[in-house]
Chain A
């Protein structure tokens, strides 16, 4: 669990200091207790001393710990301050969290399901959520910040080495919370630039389904997931609940478009209303690509 961000060392210092002094205190208290237990056992010491208090001691063990915890506070704050001050030359990446997947949007507008970054370049993250609270957590960077629906949080990091690092969702968000994983891939800058160009030119429907997070809930092969499968969807008659009323609809292009943009409007019977609204995360052209693709899944 070696740190891999520029500030992970500062956080680790705080860890070492706090855990180290805690261990010393714990061992100290435990050994003292055991020593007293043995030394002052009743068979050895039948006549206890009735000591009620000692002002000096009381003062000592109030003041010393106060100083100690203030040092701890300082260490914690020092690392935190660096974490919160995003450098001016940082590259801005938007993090979109939604039930149970991540996507990352780069300055050129392209997207990916794993976060690619150039090593040694400060990255500024704009954290968003389409539905409930999620939390962006990369242990190796010592970085965590929540993705709140209805607001934008910020964070930043800069990697110190090439490599692949786990991303977890750390705020409980429902059924597949523990599957809401991804990776940060840190590449040498030249390689990153090549990757960015390649990635931006990828508009295959399979890629879109992955990046937009549809795969977390929908299958293309007939398996029932959290949501209905796309297989055989187009043209079929679907029973949906609209404003509490059950009705039948025939699935056409307009219905699919509407289902993606306003998922809460018509709820397919037998499913929970958990699909995140995709309005801000998907373009009309991308929807067209998906519709054409779904048509083919007979």
Chain B
């Protein structure tokens, strides 16, 4: 890996160029360059996200008024299933690690690539294969899956929809997750630049590190569970189906043992992104570096013990219920710590309100709502009321979309100049941000209200008392979609036509900004050496880049 490829372009020029063998389609499909693989993930996930969003809009359209508006209950049920499966398994779980972990992690560590570049390419193919299998369920069998993304037994065992394909797809996607996680763990342990101790890593690396451990440890559990579902469907082995002597609650335990920790897989890297964005735009070091780093690990560990809060109404023993409730509240604390530290980072800062910072602040606001509504779900008596209602749908969109999703948008606007070597139009980007924030809250806040009023989730139709908030929510979905499309159009246009980006447009301190934009194939002309913490602004004016600081 250290010997440089033919010619001199490996250490200079752009990773996007090179001899013709690298720029053609085959050049991309056989690349082991972490930066190109990141872009391939970005392209695939972007497409899946747009499909998921379109289905989300169709769901909202049907719910605009009570009664059947555009399509029937059967279609509705397959829509929310597909929406959930696409958004979770194809978009937000691979999410930030697959795109920005791949692109940025080696750069931030001062390495030439991840530890296992070929395995990295394999992960992408496994991901694409999993996606293809999951989408096969659309036309294989009599009808698409209609179980919800949770595949609860015994409904999923007996459903006539082609559940097996969707489940198998999720199973294969799990391998991609595990491989990427392993790759990152080894990369972080083995490939840090000279002088970069663990506590000199940027916080984004910490977020990825915590996430990778969860992926490696938790994903096999859901993998085996999903295989058991397929076996039960095909062979009738009777683990989960009570009519065969199985236990449906067992399924839920196995499912949530993975699927709760996995929400931290989504959010921890996003928290890392926010921690990396704040310093340059504040012109100062992050407040409480160690507290933020350690709270990531704390969340990853405690997060394993709280899955039961998805199951407060299934009829678990009352003791189990309060123990899970208590643990759930404990996991809220390290999350709070992060939010307070971010807020404190703005104290006596020198703040330049650019687009990445806008997204970071949007993240803090939306994710705070997600976290605080989570307290309602953690407390026993209130969760009993809001469980399986629109409140939960609102809550998890605030955490997963408002948190991990907006975190991804933030990362996109922060690292865009590095990835494509060009700047985007900041005016349009700001407008898009505004629309997204307004649309988001108009879309999801009414859901919180609806849930408290008693509106159950996964309902194709509803009683008249729920009409007004549903209508507002649907209008919100249009505003949000407009903002997202504006954002995407702006970025795609800018990637091709934007003005050339300097190496360090934000005056940031981490290593990825010391190389050229876009970086050469081997990332650095000479491998960097680290002598300070990641957010050391000493001797530099706010907004100043490395070169300017040095001269």
Question: Which residues of chain A have a CB within 8 Å of any CB of chain B?
Answer: 1, 7, 10-11, 14-15, 18-19, 22, 25-26, 29-30, 32-33, 36-37, 40-42, 45-54, 57-58, 61-62, 65-66, 69-70, 72-73, 75-80, 83-84, 127, 131-133, 135, 137, 139-140, 142-146, 148-151, 153, 166, 168-179, 181, 272-274, 277
Contacts and interface: CB of A to CB of B under 8 A. Distances in A.
Contacts of B378: 69, 72-73, 76
B385 A139 contact: yes
Nearest to B340: A61
A175 B349 contact: no
Contacts of A22: 372-373, 375-376
B381 A83 contact: yes
Interface string B441-476: 000000000001110111111110000000000000
A144 B332 CA distance: 25
B454 A139 contact: yes
B318 interface: yes
Contacts of A46: 350, 541-542
A176 B372 contact: no
A48 B286 CA distance: 12
Contacts of B365: 26, 29-30, 33
A39 B344 CA distance: 13
Contacts of B343: 29, 32-33, 36
B346 A37 contact: yes
Contacts of B456: 137, 168-170, 178
Given A22-B373, A144-B384, A37 B315 contact: no
B387 interface: yes
Nearest to A8: B385
B361 interface: yes
Given A45-B351, A172-B457, 4 more contacts: A29-B364, A58-B337, A75-B379, A145-B384
Nearest to A80: B380
Given A40-B349, A153-B315, A80 B381 contact: yes
B336 A61 contact: yes
A150 B243 contact: yes
A177 B388 CA distance: 13
A84 B152 CA distance: 25
Contacts of B314: 133, 146, 148, 153
Contact of B538 (A1, A47, A50): A50
14 contacts: A29-B339, A36-B343, A37-B346, A47-B350, A52-B288, A76-B381, A127-B315, A132-B154, A144-B387, A145-B313, A150-B248, A170-B389, A172-B457, A177-B459
B351 A42 contact: yes
Nearest to B318: A84
A150 B247 CA distance: 8
A147 to B, nearest CB: 9
Given A30-B365, A139-B454, A48 B282 contact: yes
A148 B316 CA distance: 11
B329 A73 contact: yes
Contacts of A172: 77, 147-148, 152, 155, 388, 457-458
B186 interface: no
Q: B interface, how many residues as a size bin? A: 35 or more
A144 B392 CA distance: 14
A150 B244 CA distance: 10
A134 to B, nearest CB: 10
A81 to B, nearest CB: 8
B73 interface: yes
Contacts of A168: 454, 456
Contact of B347 (A40, A53, A274): A40
A36 B346 contact: yes
Given A66-B333, A80-B380, A135 B313 contact: yes
Contact of A77 (B284, B375, B380, B388): B380
Contacts of A174: 77, 146, 155, 159
Contact of A175 (B74, B364, B382): B74
Given A29-B343, A139-B454, A168-B456, A40 B350 contact: yes
Nearest to B388: A170
Nearest to B381: A79
Contacts of A177: 73, 77, 458-460
A177 B348 CA distance: 55
A49 B339 CA distance: 20
A178 B325 CA distance: 29
Contacts of B537: 48, 50
A150 B314 CA distance: 12
Contact of B313 (A14, A52, A146, A178): A146
A240 B459 CA distance: 32
Contact of A133 (B152, B282, B383): B152
Given A48-B537, A139-B385, A145-B315, A166 B454 contact: yes
Contacts of B248: 133, 148-150
A231 B315 CA distance: 41
Contacts of B384: 11, 80, 83, 142-145
B355 to A, nearest CB: 14
